[in-house]
Amino acid sequence: VYKRQAQDRVVVVLEPGYADYETERRILAPLGVGVTAVGVKEDAVKALERLNPEAILVRERRVDAACFDAAPNLKAVVRYGVGVDNVDLSAARDRKIAVANVPDYGAAEEVSDQAVALYLAVARRIVTRDAQVRAGGWDFGQREPIHGHRGGTLGLIGFGRIARRAREKFGALGFSRVLAFDPALTDEQAGSARVELADVDRICSDADLVSLHAPASPETAKMIDARRIRLMKPTAIIVNVARGELIDEAALAAALREGRIFGAGLDVFAEEPPAPDNPLLALPNTVLSDHTGWYSEFSVRELQNKAAGEVARVLGGAAPEHWVNPW
């Protein structure tokens, strides 16, 4: 078991993380700082007590007051990615622990690609047709209708960098009308982006595809609920590459099971990994992936470089470039 020496300076990575941390070690070595990974099966609080790190790098694991109290030397928490809903920002601020994220890495391309891929897989019945062909089936035709999207309406809930790239890519598929909801979106911005401002109800009732790109927050929790799902067309498709908490999964599963909407493509779940009895796993009109929309080898390298750079700034006495809990 690794035991920290008094003179050691260490940054802890709370896994699941990446294949290796040579990038982080290269960037932090000039400061005399080492990097130690804490495996997903290891208790984070106990590991932090043992290692007493100066910074934490994290993807999905929860980092809360108990973690902060276990590491009295902690100066920074840096999230590999954009969302920081798994970090207790106020508790960190109270302890003067800087929290930073990496909002400018290149995942807008990857995540928007994933949204388009999930939509096409659902709309074109790729997964079920693959299984049927492998089982000897052929020529399904109109027994399993495919509705198409030319001239259709795209609804975007959230309109940040990822949604804007998705809007361009879905437009190339033939969606001619785009509705967008985002509290920060002005009429002028909507006009320049060639989208119509709409509330969530109108998006649900009018859109052929509802694509979710909003952050998780108390305001967005289960925003796609049973009532809003009832507003949707029977041919509508939902795609979620944002946060699983945005959807009432039980209501979605019921609608899919009863054929009240066409299908769903989901990269994220309220509980990750989803429980084996999650009803969405058993439905043929879902296409699912493992919160992998952000991933490419390029995006991983960029994330590791930028996250380690934020740690280096803080440990070098500067403020992080993307400081999300300033005091």
Write down the pLDDT at residue 104. Answer: 85
Spell out the residues 6+ positions from residue 8 whose beta carbon is closer than 8 angstroms to its own: 34
* Residue 316 phi, psi dihedral angles, 5° rounding: -90, 0
The catalytic site residues sit at 243, 272, 291
CA distance 161 to 167: 10
Write down the pLDDT at residue 141. Answer: 83
Write down the pLDDT at residue 83. Answer: 87
Model confidence, pTM: 0.85
Whether the pLDDT of residue 300 is over 50: the answer is yes
Write down the pLDDT at residue 227. Answer: 98
Write down the pLDDT at residue 8. Answer: 81
CA distance 26 to 250: 46
Whether the pLDDT of residue 21 is over 50: the answer is yes
Closest by CA position to 314, among listed 104, 81, 73, 103:
73
Q: What angle do CA 323, 43, 68 make, to 5 degrees?
A: 35
Write down the pLDDT at residue 3. Answer: 46
pLDDT digit string, tens, across residues 146-181 = 998 899 999 999 999 999 999 999 999 999 999 999
Whether the pLDDT of residue 1 is over 60: the answer is no
What value does the mean pLDDT take over residues 235-248? 98
pLDDT digit string, tens, across residues 50-88 = 999 999 999 989 999 999 999 999 999 999 998 899 999
Range in 11-20, 200-209, 228-237 with the lowest mean pLDDT: 11-20
What value does the mean pLDDT take over residues 204-214? 98
Closest by CA position to 84, among listed 69, 99, 98:
99
The proportion of the chain whose per-residue pLDDT surpasses 70, expressed as a percent, equals 98
* Mean pLDDT for all residues in the chain: 95
pLDDT digit string, tens, across residues 120-138 = 999 999 999 999 999 999 9
Cis link prior to 276 (omega < 30° from 0)? no
Whether the pLDDT of residue 142 is over 90: the answer is no
What are the Cα distances from residue 194, in Å, to 168, 178, 210, 237?
A: 10, 8, 17, 22
Confidence of residue 304 (pLDDT cuts 50, 70, 90): very high
Whether the pLDDT of residue 6 is over 90: the answer is no
Write down the pLDDT at residue 4. Answer: 46
pLDDT digit string, tens, across residues 24-35 = 999 999 999 999
